[in-house]
Structure 1
Amino acid sequence: MVKQIELDWSEGIEIEKAFFPEDKLGRVRYATFLTKLLASQGFDKARAEGDQKRNYVLNLNAEWGAGKTYFLKRWSEDIKEYYPVVYVDAWKKDYSDDPLMTVIASIIEQLRKQAGKDKDSPEFKVPRKLIGLLKAAAPGIARGLFKRYVGIDPVEVMNADNDNIGSIKGEDGENLTDVNGKPIDMGFAASEAVKYLIDEHDAKSAAIENLKTSVFEWVSAVVGKELPAFIFIDELDRCRPSYAVEMLETIKHIFDIKGVVFVVATDTEQLQHAVKAIYGEGFDAKIYLSRFFNSRYSLKAPDLENFLEVHSDASKLSGDYLRDLNIEVLPFNEDAKTTLRNISVVLDAFKVSARTAIQIADRIVATISNMPRGSKIDILMLTTLLCIKEKDHNLFDEIVSGKFERIIQSGDSQKTIYLSDFLETYIPESSHMRHIEMHFDPQEYASYFKTSPYSSPVVNQYTSGSYRLYLIEYLKEILSSHFGSSGKSRSIIYNLGGRRKSPDQEQTPLEKIGKALTEEYKKHQNDTDAQTLGVPALLWVKFLYIKNKFESIDMDEYKDFVELASPLDWMGKDELPEID
C-alpha cells in the first residue's frame, strides 16, 4: 500500500537560500498525484517478491514559463520527509563533459546529507574498484591505453580498407603502421582489436553493475525513508545538445536501477531540437525520445494573470506609483493586480507565449516609467499594439498609420473591412466577452450630465465601484475608432475637449455620451450589476477619453511608444520561481 501523502504549498518557503512563494496555480495537486503514481511504480509490496522494486522514468513536459523549476524544487523538497531524494540542475552542470559523474556526485552529496552523515562517512565513499572500472569503461581512455600498450589505434584498424591479408591500408591507400613505424599485421591487429572491444565491454558492464549496487547502498543508507528513491533532473532542454543526449543515454542504460524513479523535466519540443542538432533535421526525435521514458506528464500552460503577478514589476502599475509620477492611465485601477488582470485578458486574446507575455508586460512598465510627468496613456491600447507588433509587423504599420482597410470582392460588389470588423475575427470568439475592469468613482468626474445645449443638467446617479466592459467592445468602439478604422466618423466618439464646433450644433460628443449614460441608468435603475456591466462601462470609458483628453494622444505617439519598447527583451533567469 502506497503511503498517503498530502503536500501543502499554501505558504512560501526558502530552499537553498532561494525563496519560493505560495502555489497560486493549484499545482500542488499534480505533485501529490505524481508522488503516489511514482511511489507505486518504484516500489510495491503487493507485487511478487522479485518484482517489488522497479525502475521508472517520467518525462515532466512543460513549455518555458510553465514553472518546471518551481514545481520540481517544491516537490522534491517536500517529499524528502518520506523518500530519499536527489535534485540535479543539469544546466548548471553542463560545463562538465560527464553526465554520469554529475549524477553520481549529486547522489552521493545529497543522500549523505539526508542520511545525516559527514563527508568522511564510509557508506558514501566511491569504491576504488568502481572508480577504476568507470575509468576503464570510458571509451576515450581505453582507446588511449590500447594504443599506448599495443601500438595500434583500434579506431584506425576498424576504419581501415583491407585489401590484402598481410597488411592494412588507410583511406589514402598507404600502409598503416604501428607506433614504431612497422606495417601492421592484419591477423595480429584483428585479434587485438577484438580483444580490446571485448575487454572494454566487460569493463563497462562490470562498472555499471558495481555502480548500481553502490547507488542502492547509498539509497538504503538514508535510514527511515521508504523506497523508491526519487531523482529529479531539471533544465535538460537548456543544456548543450550533446550533453542532453548523453544524460538521457546515461539514465536509460546505467541508472535503470530497481527501486529508483527518475523525473526528467523538459520542454520536450526544445529537447527534440537538441536531438536533431546531433542526428540531423530529418531524424525522428519524437520517437527517439520515447525510448527513454515510461510515460510523459504535461503541465498546462500557466494562467497569465497569476504568471504576470509573479514575473512582472506590478508595483509600477499601482495607483500610488502613478500618482508619484503624475501619470494618468486608462483604465485606472488603484490595485495593480487588477491592471495586470486587464493586461492578461488582452495577452490571452492574442495567444502570446509565456515568454512574450513577460516581455510585453515589461515593455508596458518601462514605457510608463519613462513617460514625462503629466503624461497620459491607455494601457489597453498600448498592450494591444504591442501584441500586434509581435504577431504581425505589417499589420501594426497599417494600424498606426491610420490606413487599415481591406476590400473584399464578392461577385460584382465590394465590401470594405474596417479594423473593427477585422479584430472581431482576428481574436478568438472565446475572448470576445472577457471583462476589462475599471474601479473608479464616477462622481469624481461628473456630478451631473449636460445632455444638450437647451436642457437642464441631469444628476449623475452612478456610484463608485467596479465597472466591467467587454474586450471586443473596447477593440471595436475605442481602439478602432482611435485609429480611424471603425466604419464610423471619428468625430462621433471623439472631439477635442468635447466642445461644440458651432453655436447651432445640437450636441457635443460629451453631451451625447452623457445622455446615453442617463438613458442606460434609467433602463437598469433597479439592477445595480447591469449599471456597471457592458454598455454603461463602455460609455464611461468614452466619457473619460473625452473629459480627460485621452483622445489627444495621436497615432504617432502610440507608434513611438511601441517601437521604443519593442527591442526590450526579457532574457530570464535560470527560470524564475513561480509559477510553477
Structure 2
Amino acid sequence: MPEKISLDWSNKDDIEGVSFPRDTLNRAKYATFLTQFLVGQGFDETREKDDQKRNYVLNLNSEWGSGKTYFLKRWSHDLKAHFPVVYIDAWQQDYSDDPLMTAISSIIKQLREQAKMPESSPKFQLPKKALGLLKAAAPGFARSMAKRYLDMDLAAFLQADDDSELKDAKDSEGNPIDLSELASTMVKQLIDEHDGKKKAIDDLKVHVANWVQTVTETQQLTYPAFIFIDELDRCRPSYAVEMLETIKHIFDIKGIVFVVATDTEQLQHAVKAIYGEGFDARLYLGRFFNSRFSLKAPDLKSFLEVHTDISKLSGEYLESAGIQILPPNEDAKVTLSNISVILDAFKIPPRTAIQIADRVVATISNMPNGSKIDILILTTLLCFYEENHERFQEIIAGDLKFQNKSGNEAGLNEYILDHFENCESLIKMQINPMEIICTLTPSDYGPRLNTFGLATYVFSLRLYLVEVFIKFFSAPSFIFISSINSQYDEIAPINDLFKELITNSKKEPQRIGLLWFKILNIHYQVDSIKASEYRDYVELASALDLIEEDAEHD
C-alpha cells in the first residue's frame, strides 16, 4: 500500500453523475486519518503471515446534517484508486426482506465492475450453496408442515413438554395423527438446514475473499477491501438489526474492513423498537463494532451554507428586486451568518434551523419591489413561533407575561435578559455610512461631516434585542415616521443618535455598530413596519413545512 494516502476535496467532483461540491466542512482530514487507521487494522505486512489480514468493523457515528453521506461518497470514491471498494446505501434497498441478498448483490456487482470484468465472468458468480442459504427454504418447509398437519405454530409444536402431548395430536380436520415420524422428519430437516447454512456461509466467505483477491490482482490494488454501509439508521428496525447480524456473522472475512455509518442514537431507537424500551441498545450495538468514530456536526453557519439557497440574500439580488433589508450586507454569506447567530442563541436543532433559514429566504423572495424588512426581527420571531406559538402571539400583541425564577410575573424585557444572559455573539453589517448620509446633524451641535467609512460594523445580538427588539414590541412610541428627504435636525430621535455617535466615535466599536443600525432603521423607514406585518410574514412562512431530502451532504 502507499505509505500515506492524503485525500484532497478542495475542488468539486462528479461521482456517478452526481456533482459533489468542494469540502466546505473540512472533512477530508478525517477521511485521511481514518484511511490510515483502517488500513493498518485490515492489512499489515509486518504481522505474522497468517495474521496479516484481519476483519474490522468501524461505526461512523454521525448525527443528521453533519455531512455523513457526502463524506462516505467522496471517501469511498477516492479509495477506489487504491483498494477494492463497495458502497451500499442500505435505506435505498430496505424494501428487500433479505439484507444478506442486498450485501451480496452489491459486492458482486461493484467488485466485478472494479475488476473491469463482464457480467458473465465465471470469477464473479454466486455459488450454488449460497443460493440455498439466501433462499432459506428449510424453516419455511418445517413451518408449513406444522401448519398443514397441526394447524398450530411451529414454535408451539417444538416447545411441547413431552411425547404425551404429541400422542393425542390431531390434524386440522380433527383426525388422530401419529406425529413421531413427522417430528423426526422436521428435526432432521432443521439439523440439516443448520449444517447446510454453515457450509454455505463458509463457501460464501471463500468466494467473497476470492472476489477481493481478483480485484487486487487485476487492478494492482492492495488490501484491505473497504465495504461502506450508509443510512442504516433510516431503515426499518428489523432490517437494520439483520444487516448488522449479517456483517457480524457472515462477513467476518479477513482482509475486509466495514465502515457502517449511522446516527447511532437513532439506531439505538430502532433496536429498542424490536427488543423493548428497557433493552440496553448501546451495549447491544457495541458488540457489532470494533470501534466508533464520531463525525462532529459542523458549526451552524457552515451547515446552513451547505443546505440553504442564499442567492436571494445577496446585495445584487436585493438591489435588483428593490428590497431593503437590515442589517445590509453585500455578501449573502454574512447575512446568513447573522441568521445563524440568532438560531444558535435559541439553540434551534439543525433540521429546524434549515427550515427557519429557508422561511427567511422565502419571505424575502416573495416581497414586492419597494419592500423593506429587519431580518433580525423576522428571524427572532420565527424562532419564538417555533418555540411557542402562544408566546409568539403575546410578543406581537406587546403583552408577554411569564413567571421568572423568583416566581414573579415578568415581561418581555426580563424574558430577553434572562434567556440571552450569556449571549456574546456578534451581528455584522457591511456598510459605507459616508455614502448613505453625508452630514450628521446631532442635537446641541452644528452639522458635522460624516467621517465613518466603509467597514464591517458589529454589535452584540443581546444588545440589539434589548435596545431594538424589546422597544419595538413594548413601546409604540419607538416607531418613528421619517423620510429620506426629511431634515434630520427636525427629528429628535435620529439627532440624538448622531450625538451619541459623535460622542462614542473613538470608543466602544459595538456601540457604534448598533448606533448605525438604529440610524439606518430610521433612514430606510424599516422602523415603520408594523408588528402585525411581521406576524403575517411569520405565520405565512411557517405554514410552509419544507420536507428536506437527505441530500449528498447529509
Task: Using structure 1 for the length normalisation, give the TM-score.
Answer: 0.88
**2:449 aligned residue:** 459
**1:377 aligned residue:** 373
Quote the Cα distance in structure 1 between the aligned partners of 2:526 and 2:491: 20
Q: Unaligned 5+ residue runs, structure 1?
A: 170-174, 500-504, 525-529
Quote the Cα distance in structure 2 between the aligned partners of 1:27 and 1:342: 24
**2:469 aligned residue:** 479
Answering whether residue 435 of structure 2 is matched by residue 444 of structure 1, we say yes
Kindly provide the CA deviation profile for residues 143-163 of structure 1, in whole angstroms up to 9, marking residues without a partner as x.
368669999988166356557
Is the 1:91–1:239 contact (alpha carbons within 8 Å) kept by the matching residues of 2? yes
Quote the Cα distance in structure 2 between the aligned partners of 1:205 and 1:104: 17
The amino acid that maps onto 1:30 is: Y
**1:511 aligned residue:** 495
Is the 1:237–1:266 contact (alpha carbons within 8 Å) kept by the matching residues of 2? yes
TM superposition shift of 1:562: 1.0
Stretch moving more, 282-291 or 180-189: 180-189
**2:426 aligned residue:** 435
The amino acid that maps onto 2:454 is: S
Equivalence map 1:325-344=2 (5 Å): 325-344=321-340
The amino acid that maps onto 1:444 is: E
The amino acid that maps onto 1:577 is: E
Residues 139 and 370 of structure 1: CA distance in aligned 2, closer, same or farther (over 3 Å): farther
Kindly provide the CA deviation profile for residues 496-550 of structure 1, in whole angstroms up to 9, marking residues without a partner as x.
2289xxxxx99711110011111112x35xxxxx6xx300000011111122221
Determine what percentage of the aligned residue pairs are the same residue: 53
Residues 116 and 409 of structure 1: CA distance in aligned 2, closer, same or farther (over 3 Å): closer
Secondary structure, aligned partner of 1:216: helix
Answering whether residue 78 of structure 2 is matched by residue 78 of structure 1, we say yes
Equivalence map 1:69-468=2 (5 Å): 69-135=69-135, 137-138=136-137, 140-143=139-142, 155=154, 158-159=157-158, 161=160, 165=164, 167=166, 175-177=169-171, 183-222=176-215, 223=217, 224-406=220-402, 417-427=410-420, 429=422, 432-452=423-443, 455-468=445-458
Answering whether residue 19 of structure 2 is matched by residue 19 of structure 1, we say yes
Answering whether residue 543 of structure 2 is matched by residue 576 of structure 1, we say no
Is the 2:233–2:264 contact (alpha carbons within 8 Å) kept by the matching residues of 1? yes
Residues 333 and 392 of structure 1: CA distance in aligned 2, closer, same or farther (over 3 Å): same
Secondary structure, aligned partner of 2:57: strand
Is the 1:157–1:189 contact (alpha carbons within 8 Å) kept by the matching residues of 2? no
Secondary structure, aligned partner of 2:428: strand
Quote the Cα distance in structure 1 between the aligned partners of 2:426 and 2:383: 18
Is the 1:498–1:510 contact (alpha carbons within 8 Å) kept by the matching residues of 2? no
Stretch moving more, 561-570 or 358-367: 561-570
Task: Using structure 2 for the length normalisation, give the TM-score.
Answer: 0.92
Residues 407 and 8 of structure 1: CA distance in aligned 2, closer, same or farther (over 3 Å): closer
Quote the Cα distance in structure 2 between the aligned partners of 1:307 and 1:133: 44
Stretch moving more, 390-399 or 354-363: 390-399
Residues 60 and 41 of structure 1: CA distance in aligned 2, closer, same or farther (over 3 Å): same
Residues 320 and 38 of structure 1: CA distance in aligned 2, closer, same or farther (over 3 Å): same
Kindly provide the CA deviation profile for residues 414-468 of structure 1, in whole angstroms up to 9, marking residues without a partner as x.
9774434322331472xx222211111112332112222x642122111122111
Kindly provide the CA deviation profile for residues 343-385 of structure 1, in whole angstroms up to 9, marking residues without a partner as x.
1111111111111111011101111112232111111111111
TM superposition shift of 1:141: 3.9
Is the 2:149–2:171 contact (alpha carbons within 8 Å) kept by the matching residues of 1? no
Residues 376 and 14 of structure 1: CA distance in aligned 2, closer, same or farther (over 3 Å): same
Residues 464 and 264 of structure 1: CA distance in aligned 2, closer, same or farther (over 3 Å): same
Quote the Cα distance in structure 1 between the aligned partners of 2:293 and 2:366: 43
The amino acid that maps onto 1:187 is: S
Answering whether residue 513 of structure 2 is matched by residue 537 of structure 1, we say yes
Answering whether residue 522 of structure 2 is matched by residue 567 of structure 1, we say no
Q: 2:480 aligns with which of 495, 499, 507?
A: 495
Is the 2:479–2:528 contact (alpha carbons within 8 Å) kept by the matching residues of 1? no
TM superposition shift of 1:397: 2.3
Is the 1:316–1:365 contact (alpha carbons within 8 Å) kept by the matching residues of 2? yes
Is the 1:382–1:562 contact (alpha carbons within 8 Å) kept by the matching residues of 2? yes
Quote the Cα distance in structure 1 between the aligned partners of 2:182 and 2:245: 31
**2:522 aligned residue:** 546
Cα RMSD over matched residues? 2.7
Is the 2:360–2:379 contact (alpha carbons within 8 Å) kept by the matching residues of 1? yes
Q: Unaligned 5+ residue runs, structure 2?
A: none
The amino acid that maps onto 1:205 is: K
Quote the Cα distance in structure 1 between the aligned partners of 2:151 and 2:446: 107
Is the 2:244–2:288 contact (alpha carbons within 8 Å) kept by the matching residues of 1? yes
Quote the Cα distance in structure 1 between the aligned partners of 2:147 and 2:125: 31
Stretch moving more, 389-398 or 309-318: 389-398
Is the 1:134–1:207 contact (alpha carbons within 8 Å) kept by the matching residues of 2? no
Quote the Cα distance in structure 1 between the aligned partners of 2:83 and 2:275: 37
Residues 567 and 405 of structure 1: CA distance in aligned 2, closer, same or farther (over 3 Å): same
Is the 1:305–1:344 contact (alpha carbons within 8 Å) kept by the matching residues of 2? yes
TM superposition shift of 1:138: 4.8
Secondary structure, aligned partner of 1:396: helix
